[in-house]
Amino acid sequence: MLWVDFLNSEWHDWRGSGRYEDRLDQPAVVEQLLKEHGLPSIPSPGAEEMAELKLLRFAMREMVKAIVRGQEPELEALELLNRMMARGPVIRRIVRTDERFRLEQTAERADWAHTMAEIAASFARTLAEGETSRIRICDNPDCKWIYYDDTRNRSKRYCDDKACGNLLKVRRFRARQKASKEHPST
Ligand SMILES: [Zn+2]
């Protein structure tokens, strides 16, 4: 999902070193994000566009945090999504292919206003049509990775069971071991 990849451009070292990278500042990462999601290739964002992108990301992350806590997202954040979407109108066309109809969507113009509208729309679509209860933040507090849990029994607690899942399992094991050494009777 576009919005998930966009939010995870804020990278935190899941191993707990405290290292943080803002990957929106890496032009190659941004280029790859656009390409992977079929968005038109456009020049790197300027200072003003970058500030808007980060504001959008901040607002969306706050919404995710509220949803994960079982709270309502702020109205202001919804309004920001609407403002971003209004700035990137699209043209829809229905085309007939051999077998069926296909709905195509193109940007009125390819620029950052359109790209931000697409990012906001991708999140808005999940809010409206997806299941907000599947929106998650990795249970590893150092990781903060955001994902959409599409497992059947909604049981995915970590971004990656092999990485964060294992790390936390080892930590819990060590904590139990330490506790039993300090209190041998238990
Ligand atoms: Zn994680």
User: Phi and psi for 33 in degrees, rounded to 5?
Assistant: -60, -45
DSSP 89: -
> How many angstroms does the Cα of residue 6 sit away from the middle of ligand 1?
16
pLDDT, residue 184, reads: 76
> How many angstroms does the Cα of residue 157 sit away from the middle of ligand 1?
9
Which residue ranges of the chain lie beneath pLDDT 50?
none
Question: From its phi and psi, is residue 70 left (phi > 0), alpha (psi between -120 and 50) or beta?
Answer: left
What's the pTM? 0.89
> How many angstroms does the Cα of residue 162 sit away from the middle of ligand 1?
10
pLDDT, residue 108, reads: 84
Cα–Cα dist 35/14, whole Å: 26
> How many angstroms does the Cα of residue 139 sit away from the middle of ligand 1?
7
Closest CA to 63 of 139, 114, 119: 119
> How many angstroms does the Cα of residue 179 sit away from the middle of ligand 1?
26
